[in-house]
A and B are shown apart, each in its own frame.
Chain A
Amino acid sequence: MNNKIIVFSMLIPFMMLSGCISESIEKKLEEEPEMPEEYQWEDDGELVIVTYDVTGLTDSMLSEFENQTGYEISITKLEDAGSILSHLLQYKGVQVSDLAIGLDNTYLQTAIDNGVLWEHFANFSNISESALTPYSGPLAVPFDQGYMCLNYDTEIVDGENMSVPTSLWDLTEDDWNGKVAIPSPETSSPGRAFMTATVDYFANDEDTNTEWTDWWTAMAENDAIITTGWSEAYETHYTGGYGEYTEGYVGDAHVVVSYCHSPGVEAWYNGNWTKSAALDLPRAAFHQVEYAAAIEGGNLDAASAFIEYLLSEEVNVNMPTENFMYSVLEDTDLPEDGGYRYHSTIPVQPAEVTAAQIAANMENWLEDWNTAMVAA
């Protein structure tokens, strides 16, 4: 109940402000987009989507699009958002795909800066301003969003056996030795998002003697479990999630980097029950937005048609149940069923890092992160 009051009180100023902003966005989006003259493409009746395992792209949803538009879809499935960016950069100037789905705001600006995206001409007008905060230009459209934050197992981290951390530094103490699982920012987009949050967290904490890299060194020294991807961290290592019911479960981490609404997903699957909770530390959560973007040289008609379809109400409102992410449409929320909404946390004060800062600094941050981890 308390959570609801906090969230609602947070949303009031947001909603008041959103009226003004969304009106201007709406106006901007409704204007007839002008295509740059140099754009040339061929509508061959096919749509090649390059994506990772975005569960929201269900067979029925894709078939519906094919029936509605006559386009034939084929999917090139890569591992994660980073692989999508690599694919776009490696095949720059070569028309092998039409639409990228799954680049997030930690990767998008690099794609834009490298000129691998085209302006789409999809029409829509109902995207929430929070989804447009990291990027609102014409080269990419948000299709889902969520907050990355630490999750913890409430049965073990119950305040008696183990204290609930109140600072990221707590996780560097002996009690947490080998008990925190974090996907690597070098190979995983959730890992990259969390690393970005730590940059902001430590830039704004009271301690001026330590840097964000010192925390990562301390974590490495405290045997933090650094995994290749999110699945390995959450399914294999985390004790608070569904991993314990899966093959290959190890269960040695009581804190993991995941989404702030992951406990809600757990509850939704388990009949309003979960032992997992999000840890809402100020500036330790990262607002992740995922984008659909037309690829340079691709079939812009087909890409724009699909973006429009993806942003349509009939498809996008299903993001929480089909893709386990928030919809980007205005006035939408997670479903109340099965405790999905109740067990999901909206961070009070997420990290504030702009897309421009990310684009300008990401390579350096990754190098600094690497140096910090090696120093341990």
Chain B
Amino acid sequence: MSNKYVARLAVGLYLSLIVLPLWLALDRLIWVAGFDAYSWLNSLDENFISQGVLEFTIIQATLSAILTLAIGIPIAWQLGRYSWPLQSLIRSILTMPFVMPSIVAAMGFMSIIGENGLDIRSDRSTWFTTLIIAHAWFNLALVIRFCEPVLSTLDPSMEEQMRLLPSGKTWWGRFRNLWAPILMPSIAAAACMTFVFSFTSFALVEWITLGENTLESMMADIGSSAGIKGVMVSKNELILGASIIQFSILIFSLGLMSWLQQRRQSLLPLVSENIVKTQNKKGWIIVLPAIVFAVLPLLAVLISSFRIREVDAGGSRQYWSTEAWNYAFTATNSLPSAWDALQNSIGYAIITLFIALPLGWMLALTIFDLEKRKPRLARILDISTMLPFAVSSVMIGLGVMLGMIKINPQFFYSLWFTPILAHVMITTPFVVRIMLPAIRSLDPSFDECAQILGMSKTKRFFLITIPMLKGSLIISSIFILAMSMGEFGASWVVTRNSDWTTLPVIIDSIRAVPYNNPMTVPAANAVSSVLMIIALLLFISTEKFRPKRDGGMF
């Protein structure tokens, strides 16, 4: 089979994988709710459960983006303009939150504000602030990854020249006339992505706030009763209305992001980091608290997993114990063992890797190939591969759930494989985004030389292409494993209607056990600790293979 057919097969497989479940889900929702887009959109105002949800979603996402920038820009500045001992370790610590599963972040912040920590959770007014801070923690890496490379490689002579000009005499003048225009596209891109991730926030909103909903968490809450003729019809309208709004806002944000990414490709003179960076001892005032901020929620999760509450007539107190770990890793009839969830998660992650990596790679190759011959088609395919970003994981989960009910519920229900469909849908776009720049940067002359020397196609693939793409392939692989292991929204929706569970879902299930069980909180934190350690190990592996001047988010 020629490359052309393989490419067509990959594109066809991917599009059917993405489009088919969503199409079937839409078909089923419309079958129940009727085809009336005005009524779908109107339902957001007409339902008690959705009142104020859109406003809340937009406000919290906007504030999260603002706070992320407020915290992230000074840190990126320090990392970019000054040299630090163990620089790469510090950078790794500060960007690590981004790869943490959102459910782990939720458990971490709950532990910080809970009884064992600041003990402010009982105050309702703290929830919103905690959510915004948690989003800032989660997305801090975006600001650092987008801004630091620009800061660390800009020729210092530019600033010196600026100092000689009237408009660059003051710090503010230099910032306004030099740094702001240079940094603005990167800052805006980071803000844009933070907005997108906060807009679709589910686990953090579900757990940190009480009673507040984003469009995403609302759809997850009402999703279980969707697609049933004659039952809770208004909820089907609500899901359709919320999806349209969410899809439109995310598409706009991603389009803006794409435009900003292009503007980030700077034509300014670049120099080595070593020339730019100087010492700055005062900078520790920013860097040290930032390190504490990045690490604290994770430490809180681990410590809280060993703290057990004891209640008697004299009140309640806490003691140290490993009981919660035993509880979490022992199966009961009401909860499967975390071991089962761990095995499932590892299995799902590995199979997702074997599907998403070649699929994403083939898609990236196809886009690259089309860019030369049919640029418009390449652009369309490129945008289509980003579709799952705009659809959100809960919608993907609903798509898989309603899609499988429509196709063959009996088969999919008992099929261990089912959650993998959602994981492949979610991870493949990331592979495309990582592989495409790598493929673009390949020097074709190596392959041409080998061809002239008579090397076979297979040999060239294994001896030239794979070694040259090794770094990106490894990063993609690790990213797939991390994303799949930590995926919550889609798995939460899908596994509720299957026999299987995953680590993030079991954390949610354990934490949902009534709190009169003293194991509820520490056991959820014990499983969170396991997931956190896996994510950390995967993250450390990625950092080894990351290109030096990497300005992407992954």
Q: Do A and B come from one complex?
A: yes
Residues of A within 8 A of B (CB): 53, 55, 57-59, 62, 73-79, 82-83, 85-87, 89-91, 94-96, 110, 184, 186-187, 220, 225-228, 231-232, 235-236, 242-243, 245-252, 269-271, 363, 366-367, 369-371, 373-374
Contact B413 A91 (CB under 8 A): yes
CA distance A133 to B98 in the complex (A): 56
B414 at the interface (CB under 8 A from A): yes
Contact A225 B211 (CB under 8 A): yes
Those of B392-433 within 8 Å (CB) of chain A: 405, 409-410, 413-414
Contact of B316 among A73, A82, A245, A252 (CB under 8 A): A245
Chain A residue at minimal CB-CB distance from B206? A228
Chain A residue at minimal CB-CB distance from B46? A374
Contact B515 A247 (CB under 8 A): yes
Contact of B515 among A57, A235, A251 (CB under 8 A): A235
List B contacts of A57 (CB < 8 A). 333-334
List A contacts of B227 (CB < 8 A). 90
Q: How far is the CB of B509 from chain A (nearest CB, A)?
A: 8
List A contacts of B46 (CB < 8 A). 370-371, 374
- Stretch in B114-122, B147-155, B452-460 with 4+ CB within 8 Å of A: B114-122
Contact A370 B224 (CB under 8 A): no
Contact A110 B211 (CB under 8 A): no
- Stretch in B47-55, B75-83, B180-188, B477-485 with 4+ CB within 8 Å of A: B47-55
List B contacts of A62 (CB < 8 A). 333
Chain B residue at minimal CB-CB distance from A82? B225
Known: A74-B499, A90-B227, A227-B211. 19 other contacts (CB 8 A): A57-B334, A77-B509, A79-B496, A86-B228, A95-B410, A96-B413, A220-B48, A226-B48, A226-B211, A232-B210, A247-B521, A249-B121, A249-B122, A250-B124, A251-B122, A369-B48, A370-B234, A373-B48, A374-B46
Contact A270 B313 (CB under 8 A): yes
List A contacts of B413 (CB < 8 A). 91, 94, 96
Q: A96-B413, A186-B49 are in contact. Are A248 and B225 (CB under 8 A)?
A: no
Q: How far is the CB of B243 from chain A (nearest CB, A)?
A: 19
CA distance A83 to B497 in the complex (A): 10
Contact B309 A245 (CB under 8 A): yes
Contact B313 A184 (CB under 8 A): no
CA distance A228 to B499 in the complex (A): 25
Complex interface bits, B89-117 against A, C-beta within 8 A gives 1, otherwise 0? 00000000000000000000010001100
Chain B residue at minimal CB-CB distance from A236? B210
Contact of A247 among B221, B309, B313, B335 (CB under 8 A): B309
Contact B514 A231 (CB under 8 A): yes
CA distance A86 to B497 in the complex (A): 10
Contact A83 B224 (CB under 8 A): yes
Contact A91 B521 (CB under 8 A): no
CA distance A270 to B234 in the complex (A): 44
Contact B311 A228 (CB under 8 A): no
B513 at the interface (CB under 8 A from A): yes
B231 at the interface (CB under 8 A from A): yes
Contact B514 A228 (CB under 8 A): no
Contact A53 B405 (CB under 8 A): no
CA distance A75 to B333 in the complex (A): 7
Chain B residue at minimal CB-CB distance from A228? B221
Contact A89 B228 (CB under 8 A): yes
Complex interface bits, B262-284 against A, C-beta within 8 A gives 1, otherwise 0? 00000000000000000000000
List B contacts of A271 (CB < 8 A). 313
Contact A77 B334 (CB under 8 A): yes
CA distance A167 to B460 in the complex (A): 84
Q: A225-B211, A367-B234 are in contact. Are A76 and B499 (CB under 8 A)?
A: yes
B516 at the interface (CB under 8 A from A): yes
**Can you list the 10 inter-chain pairs with the closest CB atoms, starting with the nearest?**
A246-B515, A373-B48, A94-B409, A86-B225, A89-B228, A96-B413, A94-B410, A245-B311, A245-B316, A247-B521
Contact A53 B334 (CB under 8 A): yes
Q: A243-B515, A247-B115, A374-B51 are in contact. Are A91 and B405 (CB under 8 A)?
A: yes
Contact A370 B225 (CB under 8 A): no
B3 at the interface (CB under 8 A from A): no
List A contacts of B2 (CB < 8 A). none
Instruction: Assign chain B's interface to a size class.
Output: 35 or more
Contact B231 A86 (CB under 8 A): yes
Those of B207-224 within 8 Å (CB) of chain A: 210-211, 221-222, 224
CA distance A278 to B187 in the complex (A): 57
B441 at the interface (CB under 8 A from A): no
B157 at the interface (CB under 8 A from A): no
List B contacts of A226 (CB < 8 A). 48, 211
Q: How far is the CB of A242 from chain B (nearest CB, A)?
A: 5
List B contacts of A58 (CB < 8 A). 333
Those of B501-554 within 8 Å (CB) of chain A: 509, 512-516, 520-521
CA distance A366 to B514 in the complex (A): 27
List B contacts of A235 (CB < 8 A). 514-516
List A contacts of B230 (CB < 8 A). 363
List B contacts of A371 (CB < 8 A). 46
Contact A228 B334 (CB under 8 A): no
B445 at the interface (CB under 8 A from A): no
Complex interface bits, B16-54 against A, C-beta within 8 A gives 1, otherwise 0? 000000000000000000000000000001111101000
Can you spell out 7 A-B residue pairs with CB atoms less than 8 angstroms apart?
Answer: A58-B333, A75-B334, A79-B496, A82-B224, A90-B228, A91-B497, A247-B115
B161 at the interface (CB under 8 A from A): no
Chain B residue at minimal CB-CB distance from A60? B333
List B contacts of A96 (CB < 8 A). 409-410, 413-414
List A contacts of B51 (CB < 8 A). 374
Contact B121 A248 (CB under 8 A): yes
CA distance A87 to B227 in the complex (A): 11
List A contacts of B234 (CB < 8 A). 367, 370
Q: How far is the CB of A58 from chain B (nearest CB, A)?
A: 8
Contact A187 B221 (CB under 8 A): yes
Q: A62-B333, A96-B414, A227-B211 are in contact. Are A374 and B311 (CB under 8 A)?
A: no
Contact of A78 among B124, B231, B496 (CB under 8 A): B496
CA distance A184 to B210 in the complex (A): 13
Contact A90 B405 (CB under 8 A): yes
CA distance A75 to B520 in the complex (A): 20
List A contacts of B115 (CB < 8 A). 247
Chain B residue at minimal CB-CB distance from A241? B516
Of A75, A89, A90, A252, most buried by chain B (CB within 10 Å of CB) is: A90
CA distance A77 to B311 in the complex (A): 28
Chain B residue at minimal CB-CB distance from A220? B48
Contact of A363 among B48, B231, B409 (CB under 8 A): B231
List A contacts of B516 (CB < 8 A). 235, 242, 245-246, 269
List A contacts of B48 (CB < 8 A). 184, 186, 220, 226, 369-370, 373-374
Of B232, B233, B316, most buried by chain A (CB within 10 Å of CB) is: B232
List A contacts of B49 (CB < 8 A). 184, 186-187, 370
Q: How far is the CB of B10 from chain A (nearest CB, A)?
A: 32
Chain B residue at minimal CB-CB distance from A186? B49
Contact of B224 among A75, A86, A252, A374 (CB under 8 A): A86
